[in-house]
Every structure is written in structure tokens, then in C-alpha cells.
Amino acid sequence: MKIATWNVNSLKVRLPHLLDWLATTQTDVVCLQELKCEDKAFPLADIEAAGYRAVFNGQKTYNGVAILTRAETCGEPLDVVRNIPDFEDEQRRIIAATVKGVRVVCGYFPNGQAVGSEKFEYKMRWLAALTDWLRGELATHSQLVLAGDYNIAPEDRDATPEWQDEIHVSVPEREAFGALVALGLADAFRLFEQPEKSYSWWDYRMMAFRRNIGLRIDHLLVSAALREQVSACVVDQAPRKLERPSDHAPVVLTLTSDRLAV
DNA sequence: ATGTCACGGGCACCGTGA
């Protein structure tokens, strides 16, 4: 069973890439971020025709998240939650669903713009609310994955040396990432030996992808019960090399599915 | 190099967000 996270930066623009990628990789669960479309504009028919089911939490212009499941292997996403309960938020950044007994939480974490800005304060409040809510989710779902665009590079090796901005690498953001890990989650990517300078996002400008100037900000954190079933976690750079790509590449987690509770 | 995209408003291109 493969679970992926991918910030597509406009689902409308990236739909052909997404459909090609689903057909090629047969990924079972796909968490999408930055849909930039309202629910009524969600391309459900195309996605269902590709053999997937989808639940989504959309917003015009900004944000928007979805969980896709391959119908043949996973059926429908169940027990869907949109946004963080008890956290007032106009922005559509969270969707959660249960897939084959795994609680899948898909998040588009706030960017934060600049350390100390109003948007940064929102990012930190949002992270605290997410952490509080997930504590309860973990109490009722031993098998949980938190997948998404975290907009946090957790360690120095996750940020290109050229990255001078404090945002995404600041101490408070990394402490918030640490608070999520302290809930009992593990960064699936770091369970394995990885190439140096592994990133998941590259700025569109300055030929950053060609020069591999990027950040690793897209993550899949797994609960202890899921961790023992993780057999691989990789960044799939192929879609970033296409014409008109998203600025993010998908990150894909592989589970040995024989021991998943249903 | 304030360098690239995507979007909305509104119909040419500019402001915003990333």
C-alpha cells in the first residue's frame, strides 16, 4: 500500500499531471494540497474515471486539500473531518479520513511569510491547535499518518545552504515540528538512508530545481503502530521535471499492507 | 535580477500569495 502527499499548486492546472501520475504509479492514497478550487469545481468525474474516490475541503484561490483513494484497493474514505475541530479558521487546510483502518490526516500548513509577521503568529496558533487535536486522534486511532505540506524544514540537512530566509527553518517552527513528533510520530523519510540534499520543493525562480536549491517541507509522519509497517519513503522527482510542473514533488510512503487492520 | 507561477478582477495587466 502506497500513501503519497503532493502539493499540486492548482488542481485545475495540474490535473493532467495528476492523472498521468496515478495511472503510472497506482498510488493507493494521495493527499493533495493547494487545490485552489472550490468544492463545486472539484474535478471529481475525472478522478473517479481514473478509478479513485475523493473527499475534499476546497477554497477559491488559496489553500484547499483532498484525499484520493484507489477504489479497487481502498474503497471510500470514511469518517471524514474537515478543518481542525474547535479551531475557528476561514482557511481550508485540513481533511482527515480513515482508509483501510489507517487514519489519514492531510494538511496544508500555513506558510508563515516571515518570522514575527501576523501570518507567522497564525502559523504557530494553527500548529498548536493541530497538535492538540492530533493527541486525541492518536488516542482513538493507533494507525495514523499526518501527510502534507508542512512548510517546515525540520533539520539543517532539509534546507539548501543557500536558503537565507528564517521562514520554514526558524527555531519556533522546528519546535512545533518537534511537538508533533513528541506525540509519538516518526518522520517516515528519515527511517531510511537517503541521498544528501533531498528536497521536496524548489522555487520556480532562479532555475532552482536544475540547481537543486530547495527545501524538504513535505512530510509523512507515522504513528508507532504504523512505523513498523513502513518499508520505503521517497521523493518522486519525475513530475517536477515535466512541462508546467508544480513547485513541489510528491513524497511517497510504502507500507507492507498485509498487517493492516481493516 | 523584484528572477516564476497561479489566481481574481475584468478585459490589459496588476496586486497578492507563495
| pLDDT bracket for residue A164 (50, 70, 90) | confident
| pLDDT bracket for residue A165 (50, 70, 90) | confident
Report the C-alpha gap between A152 and A173 in whole angstroms: 6
Where do the structural domains in chain A lie, given as residue ranges?
A: 2-259
Q: Which of A28, A52, A108, A150 is catalytic?
A: A108
Is residue A24 helix, strand or coil? Answer: helix
Interval A177-216: pLDDT, tens: 999 999 999 999 999 999 999 999 999 999 999 999 999 9
Scan residues 102-131 of chain A and list those with Cβ within 7 Å of strand B.
110-111, 113, 119
Interval A111-153: pLDDT, tens: 999 999 999 999 999 999 999 999 999 999 999 999 999 999 9
Burial of residue A27, with CB atoms counted within 10 A of its CB: 0-12 exposed, 13-18 middle, 19 or more buried: buried
DSSP states of A26-67 as a string? --SEEEEE---S-GGG--HHHHHHTTEEEEEE--SSS--EEE
Q: Up-side HSE of residue A1: CA atoms within 13 Å toward CB?
A: 26
pLDDT at position A156 is 96
pLDDT at position A137 is 98
One-letter amino acid at A130 equals L
Active site residue A199: no
The yes or no reply on domain A2-259 and CATH 3.40.50.2300 is: no
Is residue A91 helix, strand or coil? Answer: coil
Whether the predicted pLDDT of A261 surpasses 70: no
Interval A53-99: pLDDT, tens: 999 999 999 999 999 999 999 999 999 999 999 999 999 999 999 99
